[in-house]
């Protein structure tokens, strides 16, 4: 049931929990207020006015209370759109579209993601798929350091703006921060991006840059440890398990605080290629979901 609701509402597990909290508190508070009002007015339960008042409180009071309660839980955007859907059923119309941006404003406060990638872009595609019709998260830019990389074809297909960055400007000039600001980027996802993130960019997006590493950090991290090199190191060391680490990005390679890890077994017959396939499965399952949950937590603060 919970998975169906997540799919229907396009929310992650953490946001679903917050939504349930808002519903539960609103229902309890509405019932309490209804009892207080009927008691204060001293209306007999057998009177038709008792039930008229009850219905009015439930219909109108509930809708107002749920919006008020949603504020401290960071879910006002979700419930405001929930309320608008109800009002539309009664013929009330609203200008614009709830999930699109018009000019520099939007009815829903969007969190705009920039995906940084260097290769084929399979993780980028999964993230784009996750947020294609999301209520408040949008992939707004693809950033790549390799002309002709597969991720650029994905961006073109998905009609997402993209840029190919220059190494000199990225490391020794403005780190493309003005370009990111121009696209109103709020959050950066590194999905197979092989360059180290400059200090200026880390400081411009504190705790707003996440990376996925194809090993269980702190093992097999650091400069040069990416792709097949990581998997070969794991197999050569004789490790019995490997996995993925999703972590915040700081000024050092593969060093920021870990957010999530998932493991897979390494068997004697594994090669770097077969282990890479296992890791890709974990990446595709978990990375988009964890990105969504991190953004939800930050929006709720």
Query: Domains of the chain: which residue ranges?
Result: 10-89, 101-300
* DSSP structural state of residue 110: P
Catalytic pick among 213, 231, 247, 286? 213
pLDDT (0 to 100) of residue 97:
40
Other CB atoms within 10 A of residue 204 CB: 18
Beta carbons of 251 and 202 less than 8 angstroms apart: yes
- 53, 37 contact by CB (below 8 A): yes
Is 103 strand, coil or helix?
coil
Determine the distance from the C-alpha atom of residue 76 to the mean position of all C-alpha atoms in its chain, rounded to a whole number.
17
Q: Where do we find the tokens 């759109």?
A: 81
In terms of CATH architecture, what is 101-300? Answer: 3-Layer(aba) Sandwich (3.40)
- The pLDDT value recorded for residue 105 is 37
pLDDT, residue 101, reads 41
Measured CA to CA, the distance from residue 257 to residue 112 in angstroms comes to 22
Residue 41 contacts residue 101 (beta carbons within 8 Å): no
The predicted structure's pLDDT at residue 108 = 58
Residue 134: active-site member: no
The answer to whether the predicted template modeling score (pTM) of the entire model surpasses 0.85 is: no
pLDDT along the chain (301 residues), means of 10: 64 79 88 74 69 70 83 79 66 46 51 96 95 91 96 96 96 94 96 94 95 94 89 95 95 90 94 95 94 89 73
Q: What pLDDT does 106 receive?
A: 39
């Amino acid at each position: 049931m919970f998975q169906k609701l997540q799919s229907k509402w396009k929310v992650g597990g953490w946001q679903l929990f917050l939504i349930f909290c808002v519903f539960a508190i609103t229902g309890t508070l509405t019932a309490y207020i209804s009892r207080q009002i009927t008691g204060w007015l001293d209306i007999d339960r057998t009177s038709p006015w008792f039930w008229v008042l009850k219905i009015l409180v439930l219909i109108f009071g509930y809708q107002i209370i749920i919006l008020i309660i949603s504020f401290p839980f960071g879910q006002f955007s979700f419930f405001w759109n929930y309320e608008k859907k109800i009002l539309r059923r009664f013929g009330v119309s609203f200008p614009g579209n709830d999930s699109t941006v018009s000019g520099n404003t939007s009815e829903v406060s969007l969190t705009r993601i920039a995906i940084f990638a260097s290769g084929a872009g399979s993780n980028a595609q999964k993230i784009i798929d996750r947020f294609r019709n999301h209520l408040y998260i949008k992939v707004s830019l693809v950033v790549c350091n390799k002309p002709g990389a597969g991720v650029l074809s994905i961006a073109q297909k998905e009609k997402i703006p993209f840029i190919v960055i220059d190494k000199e400007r990225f490391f020794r000039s403005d780190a493309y921060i003005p370009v990111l600001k121009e696209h109103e980027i709020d959050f950066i996802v590194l999905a197979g991006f092989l360059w180290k993130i400059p200090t200026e960019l880390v400081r411009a997006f504190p705790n707003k840059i996440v990376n996925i590493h194809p090993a269980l950090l702190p093992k097999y991290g650091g400069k040069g440890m990416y792709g097949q090199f990581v998997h070969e190191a794991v197999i050569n060391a004789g490790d019995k398990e490997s996995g993925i680490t999703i972590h915040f990005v700081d000024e050092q390679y593969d060093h920021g605080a870990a957010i999530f890890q998932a493991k897979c077994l390494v068997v004697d017959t594994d090669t770097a290629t077969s282990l890479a396939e296992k890791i890709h499965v974990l990446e595709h399952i978990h990375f988009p979901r964890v990105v969504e949950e991190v953004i939800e937590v930050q929006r709720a603060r």
